[in-house]
Structure 1
Amino acid sequence: FTHKGENGREKNYNYYDRADLTAAVTDFIIWNIREQIAMGVRTDVCFCLGTGKNEKFLRALNDRYGFFGELVALEHPRFIVQYRSASGDEYVSKYLALLKKEKENTLPEIRR
């Protein structure tokens, strides 16, 4: 979603930008996480895209409901493209290193 910012330009609009919108979608988010877990996804680690408000929201949910053993916050790809594009390769390397580490941690069997 987008909306017009104070300067008249379009700006990203997120579920956490207004308290009433956050409240309106929270039950759906909880339901969705539970549905994904029910499909058999790993719960020992969760990669969160976003290191600001999205991370704070997901950490609060995880603290309350205990969905995941560990939460690893990563810079959101949109943030990287918009504000750190010159360092894009560094972020890709970071993502790949973390994913490789998790893959190696699950061999020879998948942890749940």
Structure 2
Amino acid sequence: MPDFATRLLQLFSTFPLPATPLPLGVEARSSYQEPEVQDLMRRFAQRFYRANHQRVGIFGINPGRFGGGRTGISFTDPVALSDSCGITHNLPQKRRELSSEFVYNFIAELGGPAGFYDHFFLSAVYPLELTREGKNYNYYDAPAIIKALWPDMLRSLTSQAERLNLRRDVAVSLGRRNGEFLQKLNNELGLFERIEILDHPRFLMQYRRKRLAENVARYVEVLGSLVR
């Protein structure tokens, strides 16, 4: 079997853009086809995903422009990539992505990137970036987009679970609205025995930042209980 890094790059670099234009002026973009992003993903996977054992899949919504959409690594902005993960690069680092900032807070509490990624795989229900009028867009923001992307989201989850050998006893949703759709997708596919749902990092950073320590502790409690 090819190593994890090879399977990861093959999965995402070949994941197709929508076959027809999306409704409402929403645009999909794949950063995974860019040579610089592929290099960062390869180096990241070779460092943190060397072992081929099973990991718990943690699924966000879809990548944002300033986090996974820039680095190719979910919830990892350029600052986190260099400062927390030790992956050097030439990407601009001026702007922190709120979700990435929260994620690397709880990753630090769970043993740092090496310990965390040994047990978990961070990803997204829909793996490509979505924008509308130049701003981030969530796949569930309109029924028409959900309908248009549903087959690709089914493909995304199936491919990740099977080709990346994710654990099937549990998966985690980052975001409660996202969790509703992840559960519906899973009901159709039967991939995971149960779905754990946590508040989305961006929501917590934007509306609950005064309770940062408490929210990080909640993540640590839930995710820590899944380590085996």
* TM-score for both structures, normalised by structure 1: 0.78
Change (3 A) 1:90 1:43: same
What is the count of residue pairs matched by the alignment?
Answer: 98
**2:194 aligned partner:** 70
Instruction: Write out per-residue CA displacement over residues 34-55 of structure 1, whole angstroms, 9 at most, x where no aligned residue.
Output: 111112011111110111x211
**1:109 aligned partner:** none
**CA separation in 2, counterparts of 1:89 and 1:24?**
38
**CA separation in 1, counterparts of 2:200 and 2:225?**
20
Residues 1-112 of structure 1 mapped to structure 2, 5 A cutoff: 1=130, 13-38=137-162, 39-51=164-176, 53-103=177-227, 106=228
Compare the two structures and name the one with the higher helix fraction. 1
Deviates most, 76-85 or 30-39 = 30-39
- Indicate the structure whose relative CO is greater, using CA pairs within 8 Å and at least 6 residues apart: 2
Paired AA for residue 197 in structure 2: A
Displacement over 2 Å in runs of 4+: 1-4, 10-13
Which runs of 5 or more structure 2 residues have no equivalent in the other structure? Answer: 1-129
**CA separation in 2, counterparts of 1:24 and 1:2?**
15
**Cα root mean square deviation, aligned:** 1.9
Q: SS at the partner of 1:43?
A: strand
**CA separation in 2, counterparts of 1:96 and 1:31?**
30
How far the C-alpha of 1:86 sits from its partner, in A, is: 0.6
**CA separation in 1, counterparts of 2:190 and 2:214?**
31
**CA separation in 2, counterparts of 1:49 and 1:68?**
16
Counting aligned pairs with the same residue, the percent is 35
Q: SS at the partner of 1:73?
A: strand
Which runs of 5 or more structure 1 residues have no equivalent in the other structure? Answer: 5-9, 107-112
Deviates most, 76-85 or 60-69 = 60-69
